[in-house]
Amino acid sequence: MIKKVIKDLLPRRLLPRLLLIFLVPLIIIQCSVIFFFYDRHWEKIINRFSNIAGNNINLLADFYSKNSLEDTKKIAQTLNIKVSLSKSTDEDLRARSRLENKIFQTIKNRVNENIKIKFQENFVSFFLPVNNQYLKIDFPKKYLLSETPTIYILWIIFTSLVLSLIAFLFLRIQIRAIFRLAQSAENFGRGNKIKNFKPEGAMEIRAAGNAFIKMQRRINNYIEQKTSFLTGISHDLGTIITRIKLRLELLDNKKDTLQIKKDVETMQLFLKEYLEYSRKNSSSKFEKVNIFKLISEVVQSSKKKNKAIKIKCSKNLRITTDKNSLFRIIFNLFENASRYGSKVHVNVNKKNQNVFINIEDNGPGIDEKFIKQIFKPFYKIDNSRNLNKSGSGLGLSIAKDLAENINAKIICSNSKNLSGCLFSIQMSYKN
């Protein structure tokens, strides 16, 4: 429980956490210094000032008891103190603060229990009862309450702020290096080319950056070798398949010949999809895309034009994304829907900051236990959804990977409107 509470209270980002590690000890040290200064050092100074003031009050009171008021004023003037007679003490303000109360208690113990005190803006007035009157003695406030504590505290706050600012700038530079490394890794994971990445920051961060560059080179070499290998195989197999198709055209259109032609076409389709799967991590180019026009292009490119197709989308809806990737995503999902259903509805709506491209059919649907599995490469459902239907098992996998590359998400469920399958493409909407 305690661990969870601490985890919830801690900042999520690294920079605030590092600043917290720096600031907490600093604040504790500064508070300890202030406490020591007030309770130990400054208390001694206040006692010393109060004792001096008490001695001066006793001196003036004793002198006044033996001499005139005018003579007492002259003596007080030499001490920069004002003396006068008063019939009233006005208001007793002795408990305004801890320090003021300390001064009052110290002087009262040293002079007279009946003495009164009043703290004013520039003076501290003491009222000493003498012959049914009050001898008013005004001390300059600076004699008793020095500005040193205020200056000291302000200096501590100022130095703390300066140190915190220096720490913030230094940590920000280090965090920036980590952020750039994370951003480069994210872009590389999406298949984008990494340009002008240079490791920077502390030694450990630069070591991680250099390791990332080496990993990037190895993966790029592997991808190039794999792509070249698959391209070569696809070319050779494509040539052979073309020859087979030409020879089949020369044969009579018997039943067996037609079946072989279908098998050859299926092989050609599989080969095309395998090649597309090997190239699915190509670089993305983001631009403004008209969704209605893109969906129309998908329908025109599809071989399933004879299906009952319904499109509901604003003709002016534009989002910033990679056009080619989104085209392939919608095309693969549309082909999947057309393969299993006689009706295909494409509905596009906007909610908050997201755009939803919904593709649904009236096919047999998908059992919920298979929904999480259908996006795996080469996975085929062994039920009515897959019965007598040709497919490589890569279309949905390609669509899912491409969606991740453009910060989109594909959600699969069963359609409530058409009782078939529903694929929803969720994307962030940017003007």
Q: 386 pLDDT band (50/70/90 cuts)?
A: very low
**What letters, b where the CB count within 10 A reaches 16 and e where it falls short, cover 208-229?**
bbeebeeebeeeeeeeeeeeee
At 384, the pLDDT band (50, 70, 90 cuts) reads very low
Q: Select, from the ranges 121-130, 174-183, 227-236, 358-367, the one with the highest average predicted confidence (pLDDT).
A: 358-367
Secondary element (H or E) of residue 247: helix 203-250
Question: What pLDDT score was predicted for residue 347?
Answer: 92
| CB count in 10 Å sphere of residue 297 | 15
Residue type, 162: V
Query: For 106-115, 206-215, 366-375, 419-428, which range has the lowest pLDDT when averaged over its residues?
Result: 106-115
Q: Collapse the DSSP code of 341 into the 3-class scheme (helix H, G, I; strand E, B; otherwise coil) and give the result.
A: coil
Q: Look over the chain and give the mean of its residue pLDDT values, rounded to a whole number.
A: 76
Q: For the chain, what are the domain ranges?
A: 2-146, 285-428
Q: What pLDDT does residue 428 have? A: 82
Task: Tell me which residue of 142, 143, 132, 160 sits closest to 57, measured CA to CA.
Answer: 143
Query: Which residue type occupies 6?
Result: I
Contact 219, 213 (CB under 8 A): no
Query: Mind listing the pLDDT tens digit for each residue in 184-193?
Result: 887 777 667 7
Among candidate residues 129, 119, 139, the one with its CA nearest the CA of residue 55:
139
Q: How far is the CA of 420 from the CAs of 210, 302, 338, 410, in angstroms?
A: 50, 20, 11, 16
Instruction: Using the Cα atoms of residue 79, residue 80, residue 84 and residue 89 in order, give the sign of their dihedral.
Output: negative
Q: What's the chain's length in residues?
A: 431
Which one-letter amino acid corresponds to residue 200? E
101-107: long-range pairs with CB below 8 Å, 24+: 102/43, 102/46, 102/47, 102/50, 103/46, 103/49, 103/50, 103/53, 103/144, 103/145, 106/46, 106/47, 106/50, 106/51, 106/54, 107/50, 107/53, 107/54, 107/57
Nearest residue to 384 via CA among 343, 422, 339, 415: 339
Q: How far apart are CA 389 and CA 158, in angstroms?
A: 75
Stretch 402-414: mean pLDDT, rounded?
86
Asked if pLDDT for residue 94 goes beyond 50, the answer is no
What per-residue confidence (pLDDT) applies to 218? 86
* Mean pLDDT, residues 131-140: 82
3 state DSSP class of 216:
helix
**Tokens 């085209």 — which residue?**
327
Predicted confidence band at 424 (pLDDT cuts at 50, 70, 90)? very high
| Equal CATH topology for 2-146 and 285-428 | no
Per cent of the chain over pLDDT 70 is: 73
The fold of 2-146 is Beta-Lactamase (3.30.450)
| pLDDT attached to residue 388 | 39
Report which secondary-structure segment, H or E, holds 163. helix 148-189
pLDDT value, residue 3: 64
CATH number among 3.40.50.300, 3.30.565.10, 3.40.190.10, 3.90.1150.10, domain 285-428: 3.30.565.10
Using alpha carbons, list the distances in angstroms from residue 397 to 10, 14, 109, 392. Answer: 38, 35, 90, 10
Residue with tokens 């003031």: 53
Summarize pLDDT for 17-55 with one digit per residue, the tens.
Answer: 777 777 777 778 777 776 766 666 666 767 777 777 788
Residue appearing with tokens 């319904």:
310
Name the CA radius of gyration of the chain, rounded: 43
* Residue 76 contacts residue 139 (beta carbons within 8 Å): no
According to the model, what pLDDT value does residue 420 have?
86
